[in-house]
Amino acid sequence: MILDRDAVNNVAIFNFELAQRDADRIKVQAEEIAELTQVIVLNNKMVKKEKIHLYNVLKEKSDLV
């Protein structure tokens, strides 16, 4: 009976450790996703500004013609 209880406790401890590792891994992945999302947002802003700049340059050139 004591051996069964020890086995159950060992399995519970092992499962908790696995769950903690998964939680840590998920946290790291969430932080990486948040960082990459910020990079994407900044890139989109840069692309938008560049498009506006190119539009203005082309418009100025077409106004000169």
Furthest CA-CA distance within the chain: 95
Residues lower than pLDDT 50 in the chain: none
At 52 the pLDDT is 97
Give the Cα separation of 56 and 65 in Å (integer): 15
At 47 the pLDDT is 98
At 63 the pLDDT is 86
Tokens standing for residue 62: 């077409």
At 4 the pLDDT is 86
